[in-house]
Amino acid sequence: MIYQFEDLHLDVARRELRRNTDLIAVEPQVFDLLLVLIEARDRVVSRDELLEAVWNGRIVSEATIGSRLNAARTAIGDTGAEQRLIRTIPRKGVRFVGKVLEAADRKPERPKSSESSAPMSLRPEQRLPGIAVLPFTNMSGDPEQDYFADGMADEIITALSRSSGLLVVARNSSFTYKGRAVDVRQIGQELGVGYLLEGSVRRSRDRVRITGHLIETAAGAHLWSEKFDGDLADAIALQEQVAERVAAAIEPTLQLAEARHHGREIRPQVDAYDLLLRANALISEFTASSMVAALDCLAQALAIDQAYAPAMASLAYCRAQCDFQGWARQNEADRASAVQLAWRAVEIAPDDAQIAWMAAFAIWAMGRSEGQKARDLFARSLLLNPNSAMALTFAGWIEIMCGNVTDGRSMVARAHVLNPRDPRGWLTFGVQALASLVEEDYPSALRLAEQALALNRRFAVALRVIVVAHVKLGNLDRARGAVTELLAIEPELTVSGFLSRIPMPLESMAQTYAKTLRLAGLPD
C-alpha cells in the first residue's frame, strides 16, 4: 500500500517516504509512527496505542514520544506550531488530519529519458550507514557546564550532517538518552543506526579535555577514539574545531567499516550498493589487481542501476587513479567516457560533496582542457562539506600542480589537521612532496616522498618525485633505483607516455620531469 498526501508518498512495502521522487530519510520509529497515524486517520490515537504500536508496549518518556512526533512533523514539512497534518489533541492523543489517498503498491517505471525526470542521488538500495551522536557526558562536576557538553554534541551533529555518505539522527532523538544508562545495542535498535558516537567533557580551570568514541552498535565494538585538549578562552571556536576534526575522522572510518562488513556478509543477491562498497574496499588496497577488480564491481553496479551516481563518480575516479599509476591501460575513448560519466554523476547528484570531489579529480586528470572546471567543482565540494580531508587533499594537489603552492599547501595542511591519522596519509605526504618539487626544495621533496612511500610503496606519484629529487641532488644511482621500482609498477612506462597522460599545467615542471626521468634511465 502507498499512502499519498500533499506531494508526499508513504510506501508501506518499501518503508520509504518520498516527496515527489526525492527519498526522505526517516528513522524506523518515525516511519512506524507516521504509518500508525495515517492508518488510523479517522480518529484520535492515544498515547497507549502509540506505545503499543511503535514501542511494542514498552514504557518510554513523554520526551521520547514528543521527539518522534517532532521528527515526523519535520519529515513531512509540518511543525508543532502549525499542526497542518499531525494535530495534537490535548489530554486525548494525536490525529493525522491531512487528506490521504490510497494507491496499490506497484513497481515504479523508470523514466524513458533523463530529461523527463532526473534520477535520485539517494536511492533505496544505498542503505547509507546511520549514526547517532549521544549527549556528551559532563565530567566536570559542575551542572552549569552541561551547556558546553550539549553544545559539543550539537556541533558534531551539524558537521557530520554535511557528509553525503551518512544518515545522521536528529538531535531531538539522540538527546532522549541523556542521563540514561542504556546498552549501545538497544540504542542502535531503537534509533535504527549501526553506529554511535559518545563522548565526555572534562573542564579544569580554563582548560578542557574532550573525548570521543565511535562504536558499532551490533557488536558493541569501538572503531575509533580520540581526545582533544583546548583553551576555553573561546569556547565556541573550540567546539567548532573539535567537531570538524571528529567529522573528518569518522567519515572515512565508517566507509571502511561498512566496506569490510559487506565484504564479509553473504547475500543471496548483491545490489548496486553492495558492489559499490566492495569497490571501495578494493580501491583502498591500491594495487593493480584490486583497482581492476574495483572497476569490474562498479561496472556491475551500473549494469544494475544505470543512474547510480555514487558508482558513476567512483568508476571515473578509479579510472583516473589507474591513469596516474599506469594500471588498466586506457585509450582516449576510455578517458572521454570517464569524464562523461563524472559529469553525469554531478548532474544527477549536484549536492553530494563526495561525488563532486571524485568527479573533479577524474575530470582534471582525464579531461585535458577542463582543468578550470575541475577546480570549480572542487570548490563546490568544499563548500558542501568543508571537513572532507580527501577533498582538501585532492583540491590542494591540483592547485599545487597549477603553481598555486601556497593555497595548495594550506588545503593539505588543513586535511592533515582534520584527520592526522588518516590511513591514506601517504596521499597527503605525496602531495606535500609535489609542492616542494614545484618550489625546487629538493631535500624536502625527497623527505616527504619517502614518508609517503613508507606508508604505500606503490604510490607512483611519490616515486616520480624521488627520481626528480635524486637527479637534482646528484644521486643518479638512487634515481635509477627509483626508476626500477616505477617499472615494476608499470613495466611499459616511458617518458613520452607519462607526459602524454599526466596533466602538467606548468611547462617548467613538464620539462623537469622529462629531463630527470631520461637521466635516470627511463626509456623515451
pLDDT in tens, 151-173: 888 888 888 877 766 778 877 77
Q: Is 38 helix (H, G, I), strand (E, B) or coil?
A: helix
Give me the architecture of the 124-256 domain, per CATH. Answer: 3-Layer(aba) Sandwich (3.40)
Residue 21 has pLDDT above 90, yes or no: no
Which CATH topology does 395-524 take?
A: 1.25.40
Nearest to 354 by CA among 321, 303, 389, 401: 389
Model pLDDT, residue 28: 75
Domain definitions of the chain by residue range: 2-103, 124-256, 267-385, 395-524
Model pLDDT, residue 270: 61
313: its cell numbers: 563518480
Lowest mean pLDDT among 228-237, 319-328, 472-481: 228-237
At 328-339, the pLDDT tens digits run 778 888 899 999
Model pLDDT, residue 271: 75
Nearest to 251 by CA among 214, 221, 202, 201: 214
Model pLDDT, residue 116: 32
DSSP 8-state symbol, 162? T
Whether residue 278 contacts residue 258, with contact meaning beta carbons closer than 8 Å, is answered with no
Residue 42 has pLDDT above 70, yes or no: yes
Nearest to 249 by CA among 166, 147, 139, 135: 166
Share of the chain above pLDDT 70, in %: 91
CATH class held by domain 2-103: mainly alpha
Residue 131 has pLDDT above 50, yes or no: yes
Calpha distance 523→513 (Å, rounded): 13
Q: Which residues contact 162 (CB under 8 A, 6 or more apart)?
A: 247, 353, 384, 385, 386, 387
How many beta carbons lie within 10 A of that of residue 155, not counting itself?
21
What does residue 25 show for φ and ψ, rounded to 5 degrees?
A: -75, 125
Residue 32 has pLDDT above 70, yes or no: yes
Which CATH topology does 267-385 take?
A: 1.25.40
At 426-480, the pLDDT tens digits run 999 999 999 999 999 999 999 999 999 999 999 999 999 999 999 999 999 999 9
Lowest mean pLDDT among 163-172, 206-215, 295-304, 348-357: 163-172
Calpha distance 398→402 (Å, rounded): 6
Question: pLDDT band at 267, cuts 50/70/90?
Answer: very low
Share of the chain above pLDDT 90, in %: 37
Calpha distance 376→399 (Å, rounded): 11
Model pLDDT, residue 514: 95
Mean pLDDT of the chain: 84
Q: Where are the beta strands (DSSP E) in 6-134?
A: 8-11, 16-19, 22-24, 86-89, 93-96, 101-103, 130-133
Mean pLDDT value of segment 275-286: 86
Model pLDDT, residue 339: 95
Residue 64 has pLDDT above 80, yes or no: no
Evaluate whether 267-385 and 395-524 have a shared fold: yes
Calpha distance 182→46 (Å, rounded): 27
Cell 583546548 found at? 230
Calpha distance 155→239 (Å, rounded): 7
Where is pLDDT greater, at 14 or 394? Answer: 394
